[in-house]
Amino acid sequence: MVSRLLKYIRIGPMPNTGSVARDLLASERTFLAWARTGLGFIALGVALEKVEAFAAISPTLFHLSDSRTKVAAGVLVGSGSLCVAHGTQRYFSTLRLLQEGKFRPNTGGVTLMAVTCIAIAVSGSILVIENEATKAKESSKITAQI
């Protein structure tokens, strides 16, 4: 198992004909961009969970119900993990294709990333609007009691 993994990861020197070195370096930069984006999503998910812990202490902070926060944080961490996994898989598949003198555009990964970002933005907007509506209802109940 380990030897198979090392065979997949370790690749010997390649002849630098044409633009091979430039293409490989571009592929590495692209992988790092995918990893950076994924880590950003993961960090945002962890931060959301930590902010919720502080919101329980201070009622003036933005506050969602605990289950919604956990779901939102989980979605962000999961999306980030998938982003890093896709970037890693894409890097190694591009490396193999470049060895064969071929290249495959990354239409699937770009589409998936765009859909994920749009879904997270829409879901986040819905959560914020719903939260503000709940706060307004609670505020009107309090003023009606006074």
pLDDT for the residue 91:
93
Q: In sequence order, what are the residues at sequence separation of 6 or more whose Cβ sits closer than 8 angstroms to the Cβ of residue 85?
A: 38
pLDDT of res. 3: 79
The predicted model scores a pTM of 0.75
pLDDT of residue 69: 81
- On whether the CB atoms of residues 34 and 83 are closer than 8 A, the answer is yes
CA dihedral for 99, 22, 13, 16, sign (positive or negative)? positive
- pLDDT per 10-residue tile (average), the chain, 146 residues: 72 74 91 96 91 69 66 91 94 88 88 91 87 78 71
